[in-house]
Structure 1
């Protein structure tokens, strides 16, 4: 059996880094992107463009029901993007990673792939409960039981901060590619983004830290 993997792919920094990681680890890589009514819809085009350029099989699945069930700043323009004071920020989408992994698992099984890769990270998880390692391990067991299939969920970035994620991209020789071609910005601006939303600030701060670290090493 071919050593296949399915990458949950948004076209952002983290998932693109994971895509390159998977391309080094597995014989065949498939990417799956979810359309859940996100306000930064350009990420769907961004994901399609990257996978097309890299020659990766790509699927876009309709998950618009999430928009109906979980009002949040990522799907509703009338909700402001704010940091959470006593809980997750307004960009948190309830159950998103649970659903994404489950549907990616169904796709993977039909494709004969047992490996699932997601860019979730507990180090910079912003209070999102479904980015925690304990959740991923629990869901892995549940999916294996539910589908009677030996899934292995990989989280290459789980214990990385953003600086270390940039370092991984650089180790693949892909730092500038990821910096230029990915979309992380909540306001839908490719590359370095708007510079003011929480996602852009986290991304840029990580890049600054990594670049300073790299200069010191020189």
Structure 2
């Protein structure tokens, strides 16, 4: 019987690391792929490398620098202050998940993997249109038509908020690891981060809610 192989779209953050551990429980062989798109918090690439090495998965870093040229935003321009915005946060990178998932699918196809795992969530997605379930399902169909494959895009966090994502990490026995080792902060600070950017606030709020629910101290 053939091995069930998966590729995890991996940034080294809370969500993708939780998905990595989820995939390691579910599939027989797991690879991770990280995208270098000129992000200003480049420490995340180093974090992704370290985590992949620690958990023993093969890890690829793909050059997506063209995205930086096409879609300037606060995640790739140090001179731009991170803002939530009235309609769309300026941390939204147009086309990012469209390209990332497509390239992850090509990578998966080349390595005989049927499954692609990504940590997008419609529950806590900051208004990003490319984190919606409808987008992922639509792209999954397009990818299979384009490659003539039967690949499956998995989104284990799609209907989980940050509290529930912490809960999943705990169920996987990796709560402390995810809290201490990952990088979610827009300013590139590991663990609990800067505490002020939107990503840190969302992460901390979810963790505190989960701790309160469990009756534990923060």
Q: TM-score range by the shorter chain?
A: over 0.9
Which position in structure 2 is the counterpart of 1:97?
97
1:76 is matched with 77
Q: In structure 2, what is the Cα distance between the partners aligned to 1:190 and 1:133?
A: 29
Aligned residues: 215
Q: Give the corresponding residue for 2:31.
A: 30
Q: Equivalent residue for 1:126?
A: 126
- How far 1:2 moved relative to its partner? 1.4
> Residue 22 of structure 1: CA displacement?
0.2
Alpha-carbon distance between aligned partners in 2 of 1:2 and 1:84, rounded to the nearest angstrom: 45
Which segments of 5 or more consecutive residues in structure 1 lack a partner in the other structure?
A: none
TM norm structure 2: 0.98
- Residues 136-169 of structure 1: CA distance to partner in whole angstroms, max 9, x if unpaired? 0000000000000001000000000000000000
Partner of 1:7: 8
Partner of 1:140: 140
Task: Write the distance in 1 (CA, Å) between the matches of 2:141 and 2:215.
Answer: 43
In 1: Cα distance, 2:178 partner to 2:50 partner: 13
Deviation per residue, 1:9-57 (Å, 9 max, x gap):
0000000000000000000000000000001000000000000011100
Q: Which runs of 4+ in 1 moved over 3 A?
A: none
User: What SS does the aligned partner of 2:62 have?
Assistant: strand
1:108-138 CA distances to partner (integer Å, 9 max, x unpaired)?
0000001000000000110100000000000
In 2: Cα distance, 1:50 partner to 1:19 partner: 10
Please report how far the alpha carbon of residue 88 of structure 1 lies from its aligned counterpart in structure 2 after TM superposition: 1.5
Q: Which runs of 5+ in 2 are unaligned?
A: none
Q: Distance in 1 between the 2:53 and 2:21 partners?
A: 14
1:1-218 alignment, distance < 5 Å: 1-85=2-86, 87-215=87-215
Separation in structure 2 between the aligned mates of residue 7 and residue 148 of structure 1, nearest angstrom: 21
Output the TM-score relative to the length of structure 1. Answer: 0.98
Rounded Cα–Cα distance in structure 2 between residues aligned with 1:84 and 1:141: 32
Q: Say which SS state the counterpart of residue 84 (structure 2) adopts.
A: coil
